[in-house]
Structure 1
Amino acid sequence: MNDDQLLRYSRHILVDEIGIEAQQRFLDAHAIVIGAGGLGSPAAMYLAAAGVGTLTLVDADSVDLTNLQRQILHATASIGEKKVESGRETIARLNPEVRVQPVDRRVDDAWLEAHVPLATVVLDCTDNFATRHAINRACVKHRVPLVSGAALRFDGQISTFDFRDEHSPCYACVFPEDQPFEEVACSQMGVFAPTVGIIGTMQAAEALRVIGGIGQTLMGRLMMLDSLRMEWTTMKISRQQECPVCGSGGSHLPETP
């Protein structure tokens, strides 16, 4: 780190659990943030502020007036602009040292197969059930940690799936792909703006703990937020041996001894 970096990140370096060593790991890291909306906005901004060296920001949408109530990566002047370009501009103003790779597309299996292995951590900030499962499969296959968040109305949830640990469950262990699921978008049901801010910020915190090897992540726990009452519920989750993605029925991870 140079003198400017030592000063910029000094409040991290002063924290015993972080110090120069973990901060350097932040600088060397590559985080993929899939979704530049309500969750991806605070997640990407806090990762950039913390000095994560490379951010791949993935989203196929353009900024709309209805986004601005919660998607703080974008501003009124960004309306009509591609979200990834608007996000790149915001992050450049926040921390010009961060390399932002804007990807203006929806992810599919081929893209994930090519790019997930290059990441230190992946943040799922999407609102699409099928996409979540595609991201999960790729992260399981390549043993890349996954931080998954979701929010709708006053409800939020977050967990971390760290596939470097053979005991980690995966997203499909908790939300099986073949279970009946009624997908509802916030465009239909709405969302309380700070709820996505809380969950997205926690996704950044989880990603930084993964990168820095500090503290205890949410692996093995699903946290659920009711922001109408500001109450948290934590549920323990475990790897399911019958899971078709990561269990004995899958092809990506070995069975747990």
Structure 2
Amino acid sequence: MSHCPTRNAELDDSALLRYSRHILLDEIGVEGQQALSSSHALVIGAGGLGSPALLYLASAGVGSITIVDDDAVDLTNLQRQIAHTESRIGVNKAKSAAEAMRALNPQIGVHAVSERADAARLAELVANADVVLDCCDNFATRHAVNRACVAARVPLVSGAAVRFDGQLTTFDAREPGNPCYHCLFGEEGDASDGPCATFGVFAPLTGIIGAAQAAEALKLLIGLPTLIGRLQLFDARSMQWREMKYRQDPACPVCGATH
């Protein structure tokens, strides 16, 4: 199975009540909630960032959600990975997160992919999604996901969190001239997003960034403005956000004009 079946966008009385606080918002309304209900989100990683992102996508009513993670829940994860519980230590993270999401919202479709997706598998999964959330913890996977999203012209929400520092931005290859992940972070150089096991991470930081990733994804799905071309940098020590603007690299080997 490559993706979840798309759920019926029609909202029954139970759904209208469940999502009433969304429907009250002029920017969402019934039409926006129906758009979420008929959408498919792909989330790469069910750890610190993926946990809050997945729970908010589920609670917000995204109709189909696919989770990709080949890792198993460990005791050290529970400090921040809120989709998992002590009783599910040793269980695959994608399956554990799926269990939490179904408990939160049984109206949605959830599919767990408990494998490390190679380039071909990523291409297949991304092509079936309306939005992709990169919640992984290594550059190789980030670049592989970015290449798949550019090739399929599927928007990508990228987040990162380590120590007390978080990053957030959105890429949208549907519009020519928009930058991609490679424009911002090349595969060469000494950049590092080493694992939390090496550097540590402040527990709520992953919640802040992961929830913000869900917010960006939801806005993409209902057509609201997002962080395209803007990198948000968050310092949890001072609780301050900074923003850096960036553009497409014309020589980018993934999305540039010379590609």
The TM tier, using the shorter chain, reads: over 0.9
Deviations 1:1-28 (A, max 9, x none): 1110111001000000100111001000
Aligned residue in 2 for 1:46: 56
Task: State the secondary structure of the residue aligned to 2:208.
Answer: helix
Distance (Å, rounded) in 2 between the aligned partners of 1:20 and 1:160: 25
Selected match of 1:168 from 178, 181, 190: 178
In structure 2, C-alpha distance between the alignment counterparts of 1:61 and 1:249, rounded to whole Å: 37
Contact 2:83 2:100 in 1 (8 A): yes
Paired amino acid for 2:155:
P
User: 1:183: how far off?
Assistant: 4.4
Match of 1:113 among 107, 117, 123: 123
Equivalent residue for 1:220, pick from 218, 229, 238: 229
Q: Which amino acid letter does the alignment assign opposite residue 109 of structure 1?
A: A
Deviation at 1:106, TM superposition (A): 1.1
Indicate the percent of aligned positions where both proteins have the same amino acid: 57
Residue 153 in structure 1 maps to residue 163 in structure 2: yes
Q: Secondary structure at the match of 2:221?
A: helix
Q: 1:6 aligns with which of 8, 12, 16?
A: 16
**In structure 2, distance between residues paired with 1:17 and 1:248:** 35
List alignment gaps of at least 5 residues for structure 1: 251-257
Q: CA deviation at 1:108?
A: 1.4
The one-letter amino acid paired with 2:247 is S
Question: Is the aligned partner of 1:81 residue 2:91?
Answer: yes
User: Is 1:240 the counterpart of 2:249 in the alignment?
Assistant: yes
182, 199, 215: which is aligned to 1:205?
Answer: 215
Counterpart residue number, 1:104: 114
Runs of 4+ aligned structure 1 residues displaced above 3 Å come to none
Task: For residue 182 of structure 1, report the CA deviation from its aligned partner.
Answer: 3.6
- The amino acid of 2:142's aligned partner reads R
Q: Name stretches of at least 5 consecutive residues in structure 2 with no aligned partner.
A: 1-10
Q: Distance in 2 between matches of 1:119 and 1:176?
A: 25
1:16 aligns with one of 21, 26, 48: 26
